[in-house]
Structure 1
Amino acid sequence: MPWMACELHSHTFHSDGQQSLLELAYGAKALGFACIALTDHNTMTGLNHKEDVEQETGVSIISGMEWTTFYGHMVTIGLTEFVDWRPAGPGDIHKGIAGVHAHGGIAGMAHPFRIGSPICTGCFWEFKIEDWNDIDYIEVWSGTFPSIKTDNARAYRLWTDKLNEGCRIAATSGRDWHTQEQTDEPLSVTYLDIDEAEGDVTSKVVRALAAGKASVTMGPLVTLEMRSDTAVYRIGDCVPKQDRSDSYKANVKIDFHTRQGKWDFPEPHYVLSLVGNKGVISEQNVRIDQGNYVIEIPGDELVWVRAELKGTVRGARAMIAFTNAIYVD
């Protein structure tokens, strides 16, 4: 299946949003999204008519809920039923995550470094994490024009630090969408590599996110493969020990036609980087009329690698897109 354009953090008037689920779905469709996760604060009642909305709009709606507490916000996606957030205290978030997993869902840190009390009580993450492998993903880009925001930069560094520590954790974006107001700021998209296995869209989205098969962008879709002598590995995959090599061929594809007309970066001056646990591995300028790049990278001591695309947006040098990691045992 093709990569699916998803919005993974949204709200309706069932919590603090100012839109119905139908308005949200039509708004998402107009922006080129194929899928949205409804993540109202501490309730799932907004999903009551999701099948009717899906049928009318053609947009897939994923069940979710944003656990909204004094100690942090945790987005849960793919739940088969309500999992009570109220027992979660600052030292026992892992019990809550276990409950989410037991009911078919995954759990991610929402905007972990957004300003906290008294402006946004609970927005800043204060839960104690004993095992980072319990966290399925980190929302590293939150809001509109996310890559220039300092709180998102901290979240992105946190993700990088955890990858360097050996954690295999995904990174996503989320608009934290509350209303249908118009904006001319760049919007981010989380693209998911949806598998061909049987099951509904929700289960496929959960599998893709749990496996880190995601690429995030405000513009073109960037994908990454890594080739050894015997196999090809995609985003979220892991090169096993028996296939370790002194070098790999990284194949980066940049699709400038995705969501065509929904974004525009005049004279972006794109630069493509491959980044890993040892820092920047490769860097080169990108031509808009060339979408495929094959780059040989060293395999010695490589633990993970991702692709990043930078450019000029509104006069600011900013990251435009990044992939999740490919890992090496």
Structure 2
Amino acid sequence: MRWIACELHTHTQHSDGVQTLEELAAGAVELGFDAIALTDHNTMSGLAGKDSIASQYGLLILPGMEWTTFYGHMVTLGLSEYADWRSADPSQIADGIQAVHRLGGIAGLAHPFRIGSPACTGCYWEYELKDWSVVDYIEVWSGTFASIRTNNRRAFALWTDKLNEGFRISATSGRDWHAQMKTEEPLSVTYLGIPDGEQPTEELLVDSLREGRATVTVGPLLNLAIFADGHKFELGSVVSSPLQAEDQRELQASVTIDFTVRSGLWFLSDQTIKLILCSDQGQELDIEVTWSKNNANEPVCLSGLLLSPGPRKWLRAELWGIVQGAHAIIAFTNPVYFD
């Protein structure tokens, strides 16, 4: 799997940003991103000239738009054309999501628990969703130093609750990037996985997010795979029932922590980091990993991690440690699912 560093929530002068698309692209490349999504509020006009700018900076620019309403914000990505947000009804947002799907796009809840009116009208998600299966992803980390924010913790818990209920919804981060301002706060990155040997395209990245091939971090890239009966299952894939039955061979997990990504663009103090594998059954494994910037030239690979053969709906990896003096999640993967 090849991992593409993405920033999936940005704005330009075409909505409430104070940057041009070219300034945004230049800033993204400087921060080590391979791709960005332009998600201006209720308009796609800022995408004019994107192919030329993308070529100039060697950066993929995904077409998107943030539906910005009184009842919530919804980020849409990969649309073939403008999807009209104005008819969105508080009790029928699923109709709007399906319209996005018909145009080849995907839709995700943006910062669903950010404070709403009067501080940020419509930022708090109030739409009624009768069927969560129509939702493609939830932006569980929003802003800078996202993992310590209370509203993001609530979004992360919402995502976990929906996974526990059996829905297969991806999770992402998004800076909600409006201006080229320097910050000392950690920046989160959503890595999207594409098949080895493939060149990244807008369509491949949208498909990767749709299928859950995503992992989120403020530093090292965390990856998880499950091995069952000779088969390998990567993020977003599904382990079938016979392979996880109690009378079958044991399940094994493999975890990779790549500290070499975006070298020099993030910082963690030397420490013992905790790797956790968790599922709808709770915490399943807890392993300590020593991190030192002096020996971070190669990924850490942990293979043959035994899992109980009992039934579960999903399994993900989380990396916990100290980030700028706070105990927080450093990275997390999207799940491997189980039938």
Supply the AA of the counterpart residue of 2:13. F
Structure 2 stretches of 5 or more lacking a match?
none
Number of the residue aligned with 2:263? 260
Provide the secondary structure at the position in 1 that maps to 2:155: helix
Matches of 1:28 and 1:114, distance apart in 2: 24
Partner of 2:209: 209
Which residue number in structure 2 is paired with residue 96 of structure 1? 96
* Counterpart in the other structure of 1:82: 82
Tell me if structure 1 keeps the 8 A contact 2:142–2:152: yes
Amino acid at match of 2:260: H
Structure 2 distance, partners of 1:7, 1:158, is 22
Counterpart in 1 of 2:142? 142
**Candidates 264, 278, 288, aligned match of 1:275:** 278
Q: CA distance change for structure 1 residues 268 and 187 in 2, over 3 Å: closer, same or farther? A: farther
2:300 to 291, 295, 309: 291
Question: Post-superposition shift, 1:52?
Answer: 0.9
The 5 Å alignment of 1:39-118 reads 39-118=39-118
Partner letter of residue 75 of structure 1? V
Alignment size in residue pairs: 329
Q: Could you say which residue in structure 2 is the equivalent of 1:322?
A: 332
SS of residue matched to 1:287? strand
Contact 1:267–1:312 (CA under 8 A) maintained in structure 2 = no
State the 1:287 CA deviation. 2.1
Cα distance change, pair 283–196 in 1 and its aligned pair in 2 (3 A) = closer
Structure 1 segment 146-225 matched on structure 2, within 5 A: 146-195=146-195, 201-225=201-225
Q: RMSD across aligned C-alpha pairs, in angstroms?
A: 1.4
Kindly provide the amino acid, as one letter, of the partner of residue 138 in structure 2: I
Q: Could you say which residue in structure 1 is the equivalent of 2:254?
A: 251
Question: What is the letter of the counterpart of residue 84 of structure 2?
Answer: D
Which deviates the most, 80-89 or 187-196?
Answer: 187-196
Residues 227-254 of structure 1, C-alpha deviations (whole Å, 9 max, x = no match): 0122000000000123224431100000
Shift of 1:74: 0.2
CA distances 1:188-226 after superposition (whole Å, capped 9, x unpaired)? 000001136989711101110110110000000000000
Using the TM superposition, name which of 293-302 and 276-285 deviates more: 293-302
Moved more, 242-251 or 153-162: 242-251
Partner-residue secondary structure (3-state), 1:16? coil
Structure 1, unpaired ranges of 5+: none
How much has 1:169 moved relative to structure 2? 0.5
* Displacement after TM superposition at 1:267 (Å): 2.2
DSSP-derived class of the 2:272 partner: coil
TM-score by length of 1: 0.97
Equivalents in 1 of 2:266, 2:200: separation in Å? 30
Residue 313 (str. 1) matches residue 323 (str. 2): yes
- Find the aligned partners of 1:309 and 1:167 in 2 and give their Cα distance: 23
Secondary structure of 1:269 counterpart: strand
Q: Give CA-to-partner distance per residue, 1:5-50, whole Å, 9 cap, x none.
A: 0000000000000000000011000010000000000000000110
Q: Distance in 1 between matches of 2:194 and 2:218?
A: 20
* Per-residue deviation, residues 260-313 of structure 1 (Å, max 9, x unmatched): 100011124311000101111011111235701121111202211000001101
Q: Distance in 2 between matches of 1:306 and 1:42?
A: 34
Indicate if the aligned counterparts of 1:228 and 1:245 stay in contact, CA closer than 8 A. no
TM-score (norm 2): 0.95
